[in-house]
Every structure is written in structure tokens, then in C-alpha cells.
Structure 1
């Protein structure tokens, strides 16, 4: 019984450690892509005078391309996914479309409906949407798609 508890405790600690590393890598990559998206959004509305939704869409496209490259090579490396880029890319694109929809919702609600300042969606784009994105990428896009993951696949 004691050996089983020690093995379980070690495996849980290893899983938590691996997950924590993945969260940190995702945070770095996601932070960079979020800043890219937010920077293009803000620059587009401030200096180029684009509509907020168009600026958000352009920022999304640049951030999506950057995010796919960085997440597949850095954030979720070693996660157990053996799929080719042709299999990963459509899932990543769909997951990122949900992020775009989330960010567009914040822009629409706060700027168009509530008539707030054009920068008010930024905190939601930076802090709320990335939580959904991490979960989708970890559980669906870069998941090993097997019934049971080992600690090394986290």
C-alpha cells in the first residue's frame, strides 16, 4: 500500500510538473501572440483608423500564423500528438476561430453595443480569451487522441 501511494504521489507530482511547464510555455507563446493581436488592433484603430472589427481580424490572422508555429514547436512539444501538420492545422484553425469569435464578441459588445472606448475590449482579449484557447489547444488540437495519456505525454 505504501509503495502504491509513493508511486501515485510521484506520478501526480510529475504530471503536475509537466502540466506547469506546458502552462508556462503556453503563457509565453500566448502572451506574445496576444500582444501581437492587441498591438495590431490598437495600431489599426489609432493610427490607420481601421474599424475595430477589421483591425481585430487582421491582428487575429497575424497572431494565428505566429501562434501555430510557436505552439506546435514550443508550447505543446512532446505532448504526445503524432499528427502531421496537415492534421493539426485544421484543428488549430478551428480553435483559433473560436478565439477570434470571442475577441470579436468583446469588441462588438463593448464598442458597438455599449459604446465604450475602443480600447475597452483589450483586457478581455488579453485575460479571458486565452484561457479558452489553452484548454482547446491542450485537449483537442495537440492532444495525443488516445484513450490514456502517460505522464511523458503531458
Structure 2
């Protein structure tokens, strides 16, 4: 991998991290009060957070995080792939919520899933977005 390619990858990773941090923060702002104050179940709170983060993420990632990477000659394909990857993100986050908060599993506090949601899910999603959605 040449110096230019490494620099481009690093720039994408930094931008993705900034947008991902922002959208993850939005997710947490939606999820946390709904789950903490038992407005709804943790899984429904997860769906609400996911929808807000997905819509914001598509706009910011397609226009900033991966700008100049790949082609955008087929916006239907790019949008549908982004949606599929976002479903992977949702499934991972639902998995974390289930395993860490469900009474049949770890029965943890409402905030436990936020740790892997912030630390693990974004790395998986970056790889999928870079290679498959915007590549």
C-alpha cells in the first residue's frame, strides 16, 4: 500500500470516526433516556436510536467520510448497500442490548451495551462501508 493510499485510508478513518462518534452520540441520546427511565423496552429504545443514527450517518458518510472514494455512479446501489450495512449495525447493537441487559443473559444495567456499541460496532461498520458500500 503506497503512502497516498495510507494517507487516504487514514483520512477516511478519522472522518468516519468523527461522524461515527457524532451519530453514536445521537444514538445514545435517543436510547439512554428511553431505556433508563423505562419509557419503553431496551430493544425499542435501540430501534429508535438506530433510526436517528442511520439517517444522519448516511448523509454524513456519503458526503464527507468517504468523499472521493469509489464511484457514486449508481446511487440506488450505494443507498441500498448502506441500508444493508446499517442493518448489520442494528443487529450488532441489538445483540449487545440482548446479551447485556436481558434477564435471561447478563441482566446488566441499561448502559452496559453502550460499551461495545461505541467500541466494537463502529470498526465493523467502517470496514463494510469502505469496502462494499462506498468502495
The alignment's C-alpha RMSD in Å is 1.2
Q: Is the 8 A contact 2:36 2:110 kept in 1?
A: no
Distance in 1, Cα, partners of 2:107 & 2:34? 18
CA deviation after TM superposition for structure 1 residue 14, in Å:
1.1
Offset from partner CA, 1:18-47 (integer Å, 9 cap, x none): 111010000011111111111111021124
Distance in 2, Cα, partners of 1:59 & 1:92? 17
Aligned length: 133
Tell me which structure has the larger Cα radius of gyration.
1
CA deviation after TM superposition for structure 1 residue 77, in Å:
0.6
Query: Residue 27 of structure 1 aligns with which residue?
Result: 17
| Partner secondary structure for residue 64 of structure 2 | helix
Distance in 2, Cα, partners of 1:81 & 1:31? 25
Q: Which runs of 5+ in 2 are unaligned?
A: none
User: Which structure would you say has the larger RCO, counting Cα contacts within 8 Å and 6 or more residues apart?
Assistant: 1
Query: TM-score of the superposition, structure 2-length normalised?
Result: 0.94
Q: Which runs of 5+ in 1 are unaligned?
A: 1-10, 144-154
Query: Residue 115 of structure 1 aligns with which residue?
Result: 107
Distance in 1, Cα, partners of 2:83 & 2:123? 17
Distance in 2, Cα, partners of 1:88 & 1:52? 30
CA deviation after TM superposition for structure 1 residue 73, in Å:
0.2
Among 41, 51, 57, the residue aligned to 2:47: 57
Distance in 2, Cα, partners of 1:32 & 1:129? 14
Among 117, 122, 125, the residue aligned to 1:130: 122
Query: Residue 141 of structure 1 aligns with which residue?
Result: 133
CA deviation after TM superposition for structure 1 residue 48, in Å:
5.8
